[in-house]
Structures are given as C-alpha cells and as structure tokens.
Structure 1
Amino acid sequence: MDQDLNEIKTNGNVGKARMEEGKTVCNLVSIITLGVKSLSELGMLAARDGGNLVTILNTSWKGVITLLQIDKQTLVSKVDVGEIILKLISLIKESLRSAAEVWSCSVKENISATDARRVFLPVKFYLINAVKVVALFPSQASMVFKEIALCILMISALKVSLSQQTHGKSASEVMTDLLEKTTLDLVSALMNPAEISQEIRLKFLDSLFLDEQNCKKQSHDSQIETSLVDILSLSVESATGARVLLLARVVLFQSVLRYSSELDRDAKLAITSKLQWLLDILTDKEVYSSVLSSQLPMADGSGKTIIWESIFSVLILSLKTFMIILSSTPAWGELETFLLQNLLHPHFLCWEIVMELWCFWVRHATDDLVADMVDKLCTFMMSMSSSETPLCPDSALRRTTKSICFLLTHSPKSLTARVYKNISSESRSDSAPDVYLALLLDGFPLNFLPDRIKNDAKRQIVADFFHFIENFNEIPSSSSRNTVLGAPVFTLSACLSILKTNISEIDAKTLNFVVALIQKYRNSRDETIKDRYSEILSETLSIISRSDQLYTCQEMDNVITELQKLFLSDADHHHHHLHKSKPNLALFLSGLSKYGMSETETCPKSRAVWELYHMLLRKRNWALVHHAVTAFGYFCARTSCNQLWRFVPEDAALAFDIASGKEAKTERFMLELKMFLEKEEALLSIRPSQEELELLVKEGAKVKAAVQKLVEGKKQRPMEVEKRPNKRRKLPEGICRGMELLQNGVKRINEGLSELRSDENESEEFQKSLLNQFSCLEDLVSHLLSLAAASD
C-alpha cells in the first residue's frame, strides 16, 4: 500500500515537471515567434529610404535568422516562413526598382561603380538572408517558389538590360561581381534539399525557364517592354508573357549551368531536362540575334576580375562545363540522348551549339567510345533511303553528312580514316557512292587521310571523272551506278575545293565535254534532265577555273563561243535553268586573263568574252553583282588587255546612281571598281604606307600628351587633399532622431528585462541568453551615440 502511494506521488511529480517544461517550451516558442515577427518588421522599417539605418537593418535581419535557427522543428508550424521570404523579395525588388527609376532619368550619364555598389550591396544582404531562410525551411519556401523565381529573373533581366546600354556597363560589372553567385545560391537552396520532390524542382525550373508551349505563345502574342522600371514591376502572371525576359532566361540558364557543380544529383537531372528548352528558345529571332551580337560581364577563372564575353561564347563555355560535371552522374544518359536528337537540328545557331558539344565530347571521350559512336553514325548514313538525293542540301542525308564532316574537321585525324573505310565506294552497300558524294559536297576532310589512302582516293575520283566525260555521248542519261547523273563531275569539283589544288591530269577532254554537254542541254526536252545538265555545266566550269593549263588550249575557243550562244542567244528560253550556273560562269571568266584575245571589233572570241561579261555585269541581283565584280576585278588585275572599257556595258549594275536607280555612267562603275581593287590590295598588303605611318605618329603624340596630363593631375591631388581642413560635418537630423529612438528603445528593453527577472516561470538559461544578446546591443548603441557626439 505504501509502495503504491509512493509510486503515485512520484508519477505526479514527473507529470507536473513535464507540464512545467512544456509550458516553458511553449513560452519560448511564443517569444521566438513574436521576436521573428517584430524583428522582420523592424528590418522592413530600417530598409526604407534606401536602407540608411545600416546597423539596425543588419541587426534585425541577422536576429531573424538567429531566432529561426534555435528550434527549427518546433518553429515550422508557428512561423510563416513564406511571409518572411516575400518580405525579403519585396526589399530586393524595391531597391532595384528605385535604382532603375533614377538611372532611367539620367540615361546620358554613366552609372558609376560607386553608385552601383551602393545599390547592390543591400540587395546582396537581402539575398543572403533569403538563401539562409530557404535553406532552413525548404519545404515551406517551395510554397512561394514562383515569387522566388520571378525575383531571380528580374535580377537577370536587369543585368542584361544594363549590359546592353553604354551608360550601364560599369553597373552590370558590379552587379555580376556582387549578385550573380548569391542569386545562384538561392536557386541551389531550393533545388538541393532532399525534402524537395523532383516534381517541385521541375515546377520551379518551369517558372525560370518556360516550357516550349509558353515560349511559342510569347513569341507571337506578347508585347516588348523596354523600360528598366517596367521589368522590375512585373507580377508573377505578367512575367509569363513578357518577351523582355526571354534573353534574361537564357543568360540565367547559362549561369545555372556554369555553377551546376554545387547542385545535387536530382537537381542536375532536372536541369538536364531543360537543355531542349534552351534550343527551342534560341530559335526566336530576337533571342538568337542578341546571343550573337551582345556581350556580358562574367567572372574570370580566378573570380577576381570581370571580363566581357559574347553571350554565345559564354553559353558554349557553360554547356561544356555542364558536360564535364555530368560525366560521372546518372544524368549523362539524358545528355547523350539530347545530343543525338539534335544532331540534325534545322536552326543554324542551335546546330552550331550542338556540334560544338559533339566535338568537345569526341576530343575528351575514350577512343573506344568515340569509335563505336562513329560506326553507328556511318551505319545510320548508309541506311538512308535512296530518295535522299545528295544534291539537295536540306535532305536528311546532307544534314547528316554536314554534321559528320564538321565533327571530323574538328576531331583527331584517325576518325576521318575510319569513316572513309566505312563508306568507300568498294562497300557492298548500293547507297555508298551517294553517301560518299554527299560527304565530299559537305567538305569531307580528305587531307586528313593517310597519304596512301588520300592518293588512291584522288586517283579514283579522277579516273571516274574521265570515264564519265569520255563516255558521255554513249551512256544513256539514266544509266549509272550512281543515282545522281554526273556524280563524277560533282565529286571532282568537291575534291578540288577540299584539297585546294588543281590536278594536272585534267586536259582538253574536259573542254570537249563542255561543248558536248551544251549540245545535249539544247537538244533535251526533259525539264528535269535540263536542270541536271545545267548543274553539271556549272561544276565543270568551276573545275576549269581551277585548271590554269586549260585556258591556253585551242579548244577554249569553242567553249567560249558555245557559252556565248547558250547564255545570250538562248537566254530568255533557258533563263530558269541557267540561273544557278552564273556564279561559276563568273569564276570561269575570271581565269580568262591567261586567254589570248586580239581586242579588235572583228575578233569573234573577243566579242564573245565581252558579251559574257556584259551579261553578268548588267545583273542587278546583289549576289550576282558580287560574283561578277569579284571576277572582273581578278581579271583586270592580271590580264594583258588594255581596252578594259570594252568589257563593261553602259548599263552595268554598279554604274547606276544608288539614290535614283536610273542614271547610269561608266565613270561611276570604274570608280567603284577602283575602290574594289584598292580594298583587295589593302587586304593583301603587309607593309603600311608612309601616310599610315605619319598618322600613327600623330596619334601616338596625342596619346602621350594625354597620359602626361593624367600623371600631373594625380600628383596634384594628394597635395590638395593635405591642404583640406580636417573638419567634421554635423550629422543629418534623421540620423540624430534615429539615435534618440535607439536610446529610448534600450531603456524600454531594460525595463522589460527587469520584469522578466521577477518571473519565476522563465528558465534561467533563457534569461541568461537574452541578457547576453541585450548586452551586445547596448554596447553597440553606446558606441553609435559616442560617434554622433564626436561629430557635433
């Protein structure tokens, strides 16, 4: 009985102790919750008017973070973490918006680095605290991920906007130095924690980098905002359709890629899934033009210097960095899929980016892995349908060969030999000749092959060419082991371009072939065949233009006469077929400087050459004008002819007045040609002229004088500083009033502590901690009051 009573008494004491302990904890949580709320409100007040009350601002927000760290688990349900984050975000946006309003009003004045630091240092402080809050309570922070994403985007957009304006260059450099890394820390704080689900990560990334459907919607439906203030006034809803944020999203994405080593495994996988988004957004005409033309400030390798780089270069560097980071993670498979899916990307910029990544992978992957991938690509090429003509640049076959040739040109030479072995004409595949032709048309690097293989390949190409031209009249146009009529001609022309050499074996048979080809062209009634003959003629003229010895052959007279009849007598009838041949006709005519002409009115071959030049120089298509003038300029610089005016028609395209487009003068053409020739000579000139040297001496003297003036000015400034009286200014009234409020606040807190000491329910440990913190605050206020007194 006594034992039972003792047990009941003991259990009662334990229960009472637990109740008292729970009450103490409850009181502590209430005090902490109230303290967080009060300090955050004090931090908001201190941030007004540009955050001049720096000490209070620092103390209040640091106090918030300190209190939140005391008992995380208990505070989760008591403190509104989302509200605290939103307060910090509002301070960031307000600081940036106020600065944007000031900077927008003074567009002509450069924003100094000092002014920029004054704006961005408080923003960095708010960002750091936001990062700490998000890191402490990631689950609660994910409830406001859209607001966090908008804040990050605004910072990126402001940086882009400042970097594109002359007066904002220094400010964008300071912004990069102070805010870029901290902004990305905020991204990591919400992406890394294990308690954040992959679904939330992807939604957060969708807010930063809109999905393809929203991107397309923006591209067509949205208006363009240009004002800095407009950018910083966007809401979560309006930001979704704001085109001004498109480039900012791309710039932010490259920053995330560059610092992705700090992300955990799941976060990296989520980022990898957004690579396709990058290519989709780069197809927007305003985005890709800005990526190619704009520059951005970025930290160099040491992190101590800010350098300027084109957005394109920075983007490529960031993607390569990301590849290295992913190399040992599960996300690598996702990256490989991305590279394979976009090997044939139709957009030129996206294709360039993907091929840069392919080349980077080939240079650093193991030999076995690269060899296996190349074999698979060759198998893919050889399996192409026969309907994929190698002469169509937009066909899947040509897009594949273009990618492979780019890859081979920027890769070890051993890969070229491996591809050649796979697609050589000795292969049993019927499609091999067409694949080989397509590769040569896209610049297959024959020079990379071992000498023996290269010489054999060249010998075979020449042999096929002569076999074709010698049997041209006997072979029906539809019979060939190639699916392309005239494939040996296209192959030889491409081979000469790649090897950049002429082949001595090419003789007068080629000239006779041109005459026979023109005759077949005239006699053909099939429009498709006529079109192919015109293409073969164009490539044959290109071959002749690179074979100097052919211009001295007697057969050249017949070629020129036939070309004159074809392009002039039958010009109206065959115009649509021959149009594509005219650039190579210009090439052919440029080589006629080695062709002997009498320069008399009665010479048929001279008149033929004049009339062909007249035809080309009359064309008012800008591309043909360029070809024609380039050819004529080359001819003029090397010919022995004296009567060059005979080659120029009175109505030459360059003879017309640019303004009116009607009045034509030969003198104007000759003046334009003279300028063209001078530019060509200037590009090839190595030695500067005497006039250029004199100009450099004058400019050097001016620079030297300017430097001397700066040096003298620096010597004078220290003397002026020493002469200034060491007089203190009286502090502004606002600071004095703030000091007074601080002093009164310390007195009130002291009174509250006295009441707390008399409360027996409060734990001694808590009172001691609070007294220590107050003691520090009291010392700080006393120090500030002494400084204020010293300034009076």
Structure 2
Amino acid sequence: MEGETKRTDLRSFLESIRSSEVLEDRVSLITQIGNCCQVDPSDLALLIEWLVTFWKESTCLSLSNCMLNKAVLCAAAKYLESDISNYISQFLILGTKANVWCIKHLQVIIMSIEEARDEEHSNLFCQLIMDALSFSLAIISILTRSPMLGEKVLMLSIETFISELLNLTKSLIFEVKKIHLITSEVLKVAQVVLDAAVKLCRAYFQTVRQDFMEMSINSGERSEEDGHVDYARHIVAITATTIECLYELGIFAASGGGNLVSVLNISWKGVVFLLQLDKGALAERVNISDIILTLISLATETLQCAAETWSSATEKETPIVSEAKRTFLPIKFYLINAVRISSEYSFLAIDIYQEISRCVLLISSVGISLSRKTHLRAVSEALIEFLEPTSFLLLHTLLNSADVKFESKIQILDWLFSYTIDSGSVNMERDFESSADLFSTIFTVNSDAIPKSEVLLLGRVVLFMNLLRSSSTLKDEMVHAIAKKLDMLMNALMHEDVYSSILSLHTPVLCASGPEPGLTWQPLFYSILHSLKVFLVVASCCRLAWIELESFLFKNLIHPHFLCLDIVRELWSFVIRHTEIDVINHVVERLCILFKGLASAEPVLTPFCTLRKMARSMCCLLTNTTSAAKDQVYLSVTTDEKSYLSSIMLIALLLEGFPLDSLSDNLKLSAIRKIVTAFYGFMESNSKGLRLNGSLGSSDFIGLPVHALSSLMHSCEIKSSEIIDNKDISQILKFAISLVHGVGDAAAEFKDHYAKVLSAVLDVISTSKQSYISDEMKGLILELQTLFMATSDSDNVLYQCKPSLVSFMVSFSHLEIADGEGSELYSAILSLYHVLLRERHWAFNHLAVGAFANFAACTSCSQLWRFIPDDAALSLVESLS
C-alpha cells in the first residue's frame, strides 16, 4: 500500500507540473524532482516518461523553452547513476529529443549572436548544449560498460540516439567559430563525445562476437530467430553512422587552417579504427573508396600548396628541416591513414589504383624536382624522410595484398611503368619559365594523362627504383612482373632530360644501415645502379624472374644509348663478380653465341657498330672473370671454321680492349704469334699496293691483320721490340710509304681502303721508338707532308687518319731534327703540326695539343713558335710557344 501511495503522490505531482500555466512555476517544480523528491527505482520509468512529455519541441525566441528544457535534462540526469537498465529506452528517447532540439535551435541562437541581441538567451542555450552533451555522454558510458542487446525497438532507439548525438556534435564543430562564448568547452566536450562513440561501437562489436560464439557452442547452429543477425545489423548501422560523421568532421578539420588539429586527429583515427572492426559488414554500408580518395586528395592538395609556396621562395627565404617537417606532418598523417584503410580493404582500394598511384608518383616527382634547387635541400630531405616511405607503402599495400588479384596488380604496373620515348617529345625542364610553373604543371596531370606524361617521367624512374629496392618483400610472381618492366627504365633513360638529370643530380637517400644511418646525398646515377643491383640479388632467388632478367641483360648488351649500355655492362660485371663459376661459364657461352651471330655482316672498323658494342661489353665482363673464361672466349672466336669471321671477331675484341695479357701463358704466346705472322704475311702480299679485288668486297675486311697488330701493340703489356724485330722496321716503313702513295694515287672509290690501313700502320709505328731513328723515317714524314698539304681540310678520307697521325707525331721528340729553315725534315714536321693544330674538332684539339706538348717538352728545337699556326684552333696552344 505504501508503494502505491508513493506512486499516486508522484503521479499527482507530475500532473500538477503539466497543468501549471506559469513557466517559472513549472521549471521550479521540475527542478524539485531532482533536488528533493525521492523516487523509488520502480517509479523511475514513470518519472522519465513524464519528463519526456514535459520537453518542449518548438524553438524559442526568448528564454522560455530553454529554461524548461534545461530543467528537464538536469532532473533526468540526477537518476543516471541509478540502475537504469530496465528503463534505458526512456532515457534514450529524452536524449534523442534533446539532441534534435539543440540542432534546430542552434541556427536561431547563432543568428542572435551575430545580431548582438539577447546575450542572456545565448548563454543559457550554450549551457543547455553542454547539459545535453553531458547527458548523452552519461548514457553512452552506461551502454559501453554494459552493452545492451534487446528487441528491435530498443536497438532502433540506440541507433537513433547515436545518430542524433553525432549530428549535434558535428553541427557544433561546424559552427564552433560562431559560438565564441564557449568555443573551447564545446570543442573539448565534442571530442569526448566522438571518442565515446568510437568506444561504444567497439564494445558492441566485442559483445556481439562473444554472444555469437556462446550461441554457437551451446546450440551448434544459430537461427535468424535468435536475434543475433538483427543485433549485428543495428550495430553495423550505428558504426557506419559514426564513421560517416567522423569522415565529414575529418574533411572539415583538414580545411580549418590548423585550428582544429585535435578534431582532425580524433576523427581520422576513429574512422580507421572503426573500419578495422569488421571489414566484411562495414564494406557494404560505408563507401570505403571515397574515404581513401579523400585522404589522398587531402595529402595531394596540401603538398601542392607547400610545393608552390617553396618554389617561389628566394635563397634568403630558405626553409629549415624542422619547418619542412612541420609542413609535411599532416600530409604524412593523411597517407598513414590511407595506408591503414587500404591494407584492410585492398579489395576495394584496387578500384581506385590510378588515384592512389598518382599520389605516390606526384610525391616522387616533387621530391626529385626539389632536389634540383640548392636552397631547397632541407625540404627535399624532409620529403624523402617523412613522405616518400609512407607514400610508397601505399602502393606496396596493393601490390603485396593477398586480397588483390594478380591481374589487377599487373594492371597497376602497366599503368605506372609503361613508357615509350617519343622522338618529338618536348624537354621537361626548358618548357617552364620557373619552378612554380613546373610544380603547377606536375599537379595538373590527371590520372588519365599519367601513362603518357613526360613531366612525371623522372619521378616515375625514382618510383621504379624504390620498387626495385623493396622487391625482397614482394612475392615471386610480383618480382617476375617487375622484371618485365625493366624495358620501361631503358626507354625512360633515353629521354634527354632524364639521362642528363641522372648524370648531374644528387638526391637524398635513406640509409637504414651503416655506421651513421640516416640521410645521405648521392648521385642519382649511383642510386639507380644500387637499386638495380638489389633487384638482381632478389631476382636470383626466383627462377622465372631471373630468366626474364637474364634475357633483359643479354638483349641490352648492344643498347643504342650510351647510358643504358653503361648500366647494363655494370650489372653484368656485378653478376660476374658475385655469381658461381657454373653461371659464369653459362654466361660466357651465351655471349660467344651472340657474338658469332653478329659477326657475319658487321663493319668491324666502324667504332660504334653493333659488333663493336658487343665486343666492348664482352671485354668489360671478361675483366672480372678468370683466365679460363678468357681462354674460352678466345678459343671460341678463333676456332671458327670460317677464318675471315674469326678475324673479324678477334679484331673487334682487340679494338675494344680484350685482355690478351690475361690469357694463359701458352695461349697468349700463340695468339701474339698468329697476329704478328698474319701482319707480316699481309704486308708481303700487299707490298706493291693493296689487293682491292678480293672476294669479300668490303674495305672493312682489307688490312685486318694490320688492325689486329695495332690493337695488340696498344693493349698488350709487351715491349714493341719483342713483337717487331728491328730488321723488319725498314720493311714496315716502306709499306707505310706505299700506302701513302696509294691514298694519293688511287681512284676515289679506293682511297678509303688505303686510308684505313695507313691509319693502322701509323699506330703500329708510333709504339716503336726504334722506328723513328730508321733511315726510312724521313722519307715517310716527307710523304705524309706531301699527302696532307695537298689535300683539303674537308677531305673525309684523310680525316679518319688524323687520330693516328697524332699518335705518330707524339714520339717525334726522340728524333734528332736539324733546327732551321733549310731543313727538309724540320719543315715537314712543322707542316704536319700545323695540319693538326688547325683542326677545329674538340677531340682532335686535345690530342693535337697533347702531342705538341710532348714534342715541346722533349725536343731540341729552339724555335717552337714556328710550329704553331696563326689560326690555331685553341688559344691554349699559344701558351706552349
């Protein structure tokens, strides 16, 4: 009876509140409920139901509704510390009403604040907002401690309550600058609400999982009737709503100019955390791709703003490393969160691989562009240290994910690393008047244009190098796929701005090991070589990748571009130095097969022909092999059934520096003997003039024994006297004189034949000091003077003889010359030096000056100034007189 009496008294008291027409009286009575009235737990449901009815839904232009609603909230809040598990629905309804009403009333108050009227009303509303947030936080805390799973109505109430609370929180943060009265307090409570919402979602997910496990253990099978699926559906909906709210706040805070850092941090971290709770269910409710795209866009836009600012900075405004890092900190924050989401949802992130790859490529391109500017070195270092590893991890996440199909991964590589050089392409640097223009252009390249974009080409090379260096963390199938993209690198390196940058640029590189780990500046060329060598080691552990890589290296041994060729040769040398003997033998065998295939139709005396390139590559490789490998190459070349092909291949090797000295002793002596014997045989059979009607029909095959001996004399560490007998010097000089006559007397179509052989003979003579004291030397000099003085400078036939003439002139300091106008020999030497020193080609200039310098230092002539023509090509020559 006593309980019924109390319930009757409470109901009467509540009826009196409802019937009161005076606002102040009603507020006073509601306040008494919290302060004075003792309500039994059994009456709590009745009380909260009535408090909900007391709430005024309409907004107000004065204090009235604010005062009443504040009193209602304060009264209800007094009982939140009680056990309200049985009455949670009523509290949820009241909290929802409070949040909805605050949202509607917010704009009214903001207008009031802007118009500077009714400040008291504004203050009261701000207090009410704080009360509403505190009330909702208390409810969330209760739900988090003991997540309640109930019928559909309860779950809908929770879902609606959380949704409206987040809407209110979002609205307050959006308008926080306008609520200047309690800005800091609002922000603090709003952040607590966001954090509490995240914790609530986690608590519910854990409860549902545990509930599911218990039911599975107890019943073996769960049915739709047990309500578990409904619980999960509502919890996913609550979590999705929270994610959407945090997502919108994250975007807003990013544009807040740095004033909302705490909101930025809690919002995006909350998004990432919640998305990790259940990627299967959440992927159906939340647009994951949009979230990743937004993070990437925020990172890109922030980087663009910073890059354009720095590009216009003068050297006096040089930023320091700490300043650059502060600028890059939010960019790294966006990228890290994008990486975390992409790693969980790689099966969705692959759909936006172009935008993801574009972001990574832009960062590489900006980094390499910054390194061009001396005063921006600190910025470049900060970018490499802060941004590049994280951005690359974003790409790596897709390439290394088990949830992404291999075909999709190949699509990424094709999109990023497919490039064919266009002969009509523009220069990437000279088209821009300033660095600002360059950066502006970099960021305007959209995803569709990236595969053909040249402004990002150097950045693409840098990105590819990063991929090569990290290839050890990739699966074998991806290592194989990357090996197939090495041709892109070769194509890119041929671009004029790329190879010039690689040869001139130094870039910061992260060194994770060594005595002083950290950043170091290295030539870009060295960095590329290092990356390729790392990839060689990785690919050697993957059979298919190694086959692809080996094919690439063999194919490019005769690459047309000098830089690509040097890189391939260096890689081959690296392989030879660090591989097993069986692999070396296999490589040498294949090299010989390729070499023989090129020998049939190659003009061997043309310096940069395919055969000579191949010979040069082989010689570079052989310097790192054993004598047995060199013997194998020599025997393979010289034992060919077709002797003229053997001669062609051998001369190509000798001209490119074949290490004949490294052959085994017996083979070396045999090789020298064959070359010398062939030379004397050729000289005897052509003593009266070259046989120009041979069956080979090409000037390249005439005089090969002479070229072979010439190369031998210059490359083999054997004294010339051990190869050429003194008794044969006279014969060689006479042969040279006959060749001079042949050049002068032969018909035009045969002059070239004589000139090439003459050039080789002059090289042979220049290596023997004994030749210069022979009686026939004077005759040869006079004949050479007659030949060169009687020929115009534009004669292309004699032009090819001038390098050998320089070598020939170097050793004239050993010759006794009568110094005077009447000396025939003196005049002839003077004329020949004039021919060389008048030459306008830079290479001949250096050779000629070097030759004359040696002559000037050692000769007994006293009037050296006579040897220098008035129109000498280099002013440096004048100083030698």
Go from structure 1 to structure 2 and tell me whether the alpha carbon gap of 1:556 and 1:334 turns closer, same or farther (over 3 Å shift).
same
Amino acid at match of 2:342: V
Amino acid at match of 2:286: V
Please tell me whether residue 78 in structure 1 is matched to residue 295 in structure 2: no
Q: Which of 612, 615, 624 is the equivalent residue of 2:832?
A: 612
**Counterpart in the other structure of 1:512:** 734
After TM superposition, give the deviation of residue 294 of structure 1 in Å: 0.6
**Counterpart in the other structure of 1:200:** 408
Of all paired residues, the percent bearing the same amino acid is: 38
Contact 2:714–2:767, Cα closer than 8 Å, also in 1: no
Q: Which of 547, 561, 584 is the equivalent residue of 2:782?
A: 561
Q: Which of 763, 766, 774 is the equivalent residue of 1:542?
A: 763
**Counterpart in the other structure of 1:621:** 841
Go from structure 1 to structure 2 and tell me whether the alpha carbon gap of 1:553 and 1:23 turns closer, same or farther (over 3 Å shift).
same
Please tell me whether residue 148 in structure 1 is matched to residue 356 in structure 2: yes
Contact 2:428–2:455, Cα closer than 8 Å, also in 1: no
Contact 1:382–1:429, Cα closer than 8 Å, also in 2: no
Q: Residue by residue, what CA displacement relative to the aligned partner does 1:291-313 show, whole Å, maximum 9, x if unpaired?
A: 11111111124183111111111
2 CA distance for matches of 1:307 and 1:132?
A: 29
After TM superposition, give the deviation of residue 670 of structure 1 in Å: 2.7
Q: Which of 402, 424, 441 is the equivalent residue of 2:616?
A: 402
1:362-761, aligned counterparts within 5 Å?
A: 362-384=576-598, 386-424=600-638, 430-473=644-687, 476-479=691-694, 484-499=701-716, 502-504=719-721, 505-506=724-725, 507-525=729-747, 527-568=748-789, 570-572=790-792, 575-654=795-874, 670-671=878-879, 673=880
Go from structure 1 to structure 2 and tell me whether the alpha carbon gap of 1:430 and 1:597 turns closer, same or farther (over 3 Å shift).
closer
Go from structure 1 to structure 2 and tell me whether the alpha carbon gap of 1:349 and 1:14 turns closer, same or farther (over 3 Å shift).
closer
Q: Which of 408, 411, 417 is the equivalent residue of 1:209?
A: 417
Amino acid at match of 2:243: V
Please tell me whether residue 101 in structure 1 is matched to residue 316 in structure 2: no
Contact 2:849–2:877, Cα closer than 8 Å, also in 1: no
After TM superposition, give the deviation of residue 216 of structure 1 in Å: 6.6
Q: Which of 307, 315, 325 is the equivalent residue of 2:538?
A: 325
Computing the radius of gyration from Cα coordinates, the structure with the larger value is 2
**Counterpart in the other structure of 1:274:** 485
After TM superposition, give the deviation of residue 359 of structure 1 in Å: 1.6
**Counterpart in the other structure of 2:503:** 292
After TM superposition, give the deviation of residue 241 of structure 1 in Å: 4.8
Q: Residue by residue, what CA displacement relative to the aligned partner does 1:3-45 show, whole Å, maximum 9, x if unpaired?
A: xxxxxxxx9x986743x32221111111111111111122222
Helix, strand or coil at the partner of 2:720: coil
Q: Residue by residue, what CA displacement relative to the aligned partner does 1:118-151 show, whole Å, maximum 9, x if unpaired?
A: 0122222211111111111112111111111111
Helix, strand or coil at the partner of 1:244: coil
**Counterpart in the other structure of 1:729:** none
2 CA distance for matches of 1:139 and 1:261?
A: 23
Structure 1: runs of 5+ lacking an equivalent: 1-10, 656-667, 675-792
2 CA distance for matches of 1:549 and 1:416?
A: 32
Q: Is the deviation greater in 475-484 or in 496-505?
A: 475-484
2 CA distance for matches of 1:50 and 1:427?
A: 80
Helix, strand or coil at the partner of 1:212: coil
Go from structure 1 to structure 2 and tell me whether the alpha carbon gap of 1:386 and 1:25 turns closer, same or farther (over 3 Å shift).
closer
Amino acid at match of 2:848: A
Amino acid at match of 2:827: R
**Counterpart in the other structure of 2:241:** 34
Contact 1:590–1:634, Cα closer than 8 Å, also in 2: yes
Amino acid at match of 1:513: F
Count residues in correspondence.
646
Amino acid at match of 1:74: A
Go from structure 1 to structure 2 and tell me whether the alpha carbon gap of 1:620 and 1:389 turns closer, same or farther (over 3 Å shift).
closer
**Counterpart in the other structure of 2:262:** 55
1:178-193, aligned counterparts within 5 Å?
A: 178-193=386-401
* Larger RCO of the pair (alpha carbons < 8 Å, separation 6+): 1
After TM superposition, give the deviation of residue 193 of structure 1 in Å: 1.8
Q: Residue by residue, what CA displacement relative to the aligned partner does 1:510-532 show, whole Å, maximum 9, x if unpaired?
A: 1111112222333322x343202
1:112-191, aligned counterparts within 5 Å?
A: 112-191=320-399
TM-score by length of 1: 0.77
Amino acid at match of 1:566: L
2 CA distance for matches of 1:588 and 1:222?
A: 45
**Counterpart in the other structure of 1:311:** 524
Q: Which of 313, 330, 334 is the equivalent residue of 2:548?
A: 334
Amino acid at match of 2:510: A
2 CA distance for matches of 1:650 and 1:287?
A: 42
Amino acid at match of 1:538: S
1 CA distance for matches of 2:874 and 2:424?
A: 45
Contact 1:464–1:488, Cα closer than 8 Å, also in 2: yes
After TM superposition, give the deviation of residue 320 of structure 1 in Å: 0.8
Helix, strand or coil at the partner of 2:520: strand
After TM superposition, give the deviation of residue 185 of structure 1 in Å: 1.2
Please tell me whether residue 243 in structure 1 is matched to residue 454 in structure 2: yes
Q: Residue by residue, what CA displacement relative to the aligned partner does 1:554-586 show, whole Å, maximum 9, x if unpaired?
A: 111111111111111x31499331111112212
2 CA distance for matches of 1:221 and 1:285?
A: 9
After TM superposition, give the deviation of residue 195 of structure 1 in Å: 2.8
Helix, strand or coil at the partner of 2:387: helix
Go from structure 1 to structure 2 and tell me whether the alpha carbon gap of 1:15 and 1:273 turns closer, same or farther (over 3 Å shift).
closer
Q: Is the deviation greater in 336-345 or in 424-433?
A: 424-433
Helix, strand or coil at the partner of 1:389: coil
Q: Residue by residue, what CA displacement relative to the aligned partner does 1:391-417 show, whole Å, maximum 9, x if unpaired?
A: 123433223212211211233443212
Amino acid at match of 1:595: L
Q: Residue by residue, what CA displacement relative to the aligned partner does 1:255-312 show, whole Å, maximum 9, x if unpaired?
A: 1110111222332222222111110111111111111111111112418311111111
**Counterpart in the other structure of 1:283:** 494
Helix, strand or coil at the partner of 1:393: coil
Contact 1:425–1:433, Cα closer than 8 Å, also in 2: no
Contact 1:222–1:243, Cα closer than 8 Å, also in 2: no
Structure 2: runs of 5+ lacking an equivalent: 1-218
**Counterpart in the other structure of 2:201:** none
Q: Residue by residue, what CA displacement relative to the aligned partner does 1:342-376 show, whole Å, maximum 9, x if unpaired?
A: 22111111111112222222222221222122122
2 CA distance for matches of 1:428 and 1:479?
A: 16
Helix, strand or coil at the partner of 1:508: helix
Q: Residue by residue, what CA displacement relative to the aligned partner does 1:744-789 show, whole Å, maximum 9, x if unpaired?
A: xxxxxxxxxxxxxxxxxxxxxxxxxxxxxxxxxxxxxxxxxxxxxx
CA RMSD of aligned residues (A): 2.6
Contact 2:416–2:451, Cα closer than 8 Å, also in 1: no
Go from structure 1 to structure 2 and tell me whether the alpha carbon gap of 1:56 and 1:509 turns closer, same or farther (over 3 Å shift).
same
Please tell me whether residue 255 in structure 1 is matched to residue 466 in structure 2: yes
